[in-house]
Each structure stands twice: as structure tokens, then as C-alpha cells.
Amino acid sequence: MAKISMVNRELKRAKLAAKYAERRAELKKIISSPTASYEEKEEAAIKLQKLPRDSSPSRQTTRCALTGRPRGVYQKFNLGRNMLRKATMNGDVPGLRKASW
């Protein structure tokens, strides 16, 4: 099990990313715009830097839905590798079974 504080930190990051998504998109649009002046782009870049770090979606990590483990998480199932194996063995994941040859 992951520490509760780490799982809560990820939830906080997700909330901040959702809250600032529109503002970040507007600023990035100005920065990448070919018609904007250099001063406008510079001002937009400074505003983007002043936003909270955790509002960036790239700072989020996928975590296992059951244990909170940050590594070895399959996005399709939202489970860590060991929990996915347990669920597969119990037959909880339809269409997935252990390979044997």
C-alpha cells in the first residue's frame, strides 16, 4: 500500500490540473501563436510560470486504483501489475487470462 499522503497529493494535482486547464490552454495558445508580438508571448510565458507547478498535467502519475502503487500500472485496467495478476487469477478481468504454452 502506498502512503495515504502520496495518494492524496495525486488527487490534489488532478484537481489543480482541472482547475487551471483552461487558463493554461489560453496562455499556451498565445505563446505558440505566430501573430502575437514578442512582448505578448513573453508576458504569457511569465503568467504561465506563475501558475502552480502541480497544475501541469504532466506532473500527474498513474496509480493503482486498489493499492496506490505508482509504478507498473496498466492504464487500460487502472491496476498495478500485481493487483492485475490477482484479479486475472480470480477471473475478475473479462477476456484476460494467464499465458501458458
Q: Are 83 and 96 in contact (CB under 8 A)?
A: no
Kindly state whether residues 4 and 44 are assigned to the same domain.
yes
Place of cell 482547475: 19
Kindly state whether residues 24 and 72 are assigned to the same domain.
no
Question: Count of CB atoms within 10 A of residue 72's CB?
Answer: 13
Kindly state whether residues 39 and 67 are assigned to the same domain.
no
Residue 99 in this model has a pLDDT that exceeds 90: no
Kindly state whether residues 74 and 56 are assigned to the same domain.
no
Kindly state whether residues 71 and 55 are assigned to the same domain.
no
Q: How many distinct structural domains can be found in the chain?
A: 2
Predicted structure pTM score: 0.79
Kindly state whether residues 36 and 71 are assigned to the same domain.
no
Nearest to 30 by CA among 15, 19, 40: 40
Contacts of 72 (CB under 8 A, 6+ apart): 80, 81, 82
Contacts of 71 (CB under 8 A, 6+ apart): 80
pLDDT digits (tens, 9 = 90+) for 45-71: 999 999 999 999 999 999 999 999 999
Kindly state whether residues 50 and 71 are assigned to the same domain.
no
Cell numbers standing for residue 42:
513573453
CATH number at residue 16: 1.10.287.1480
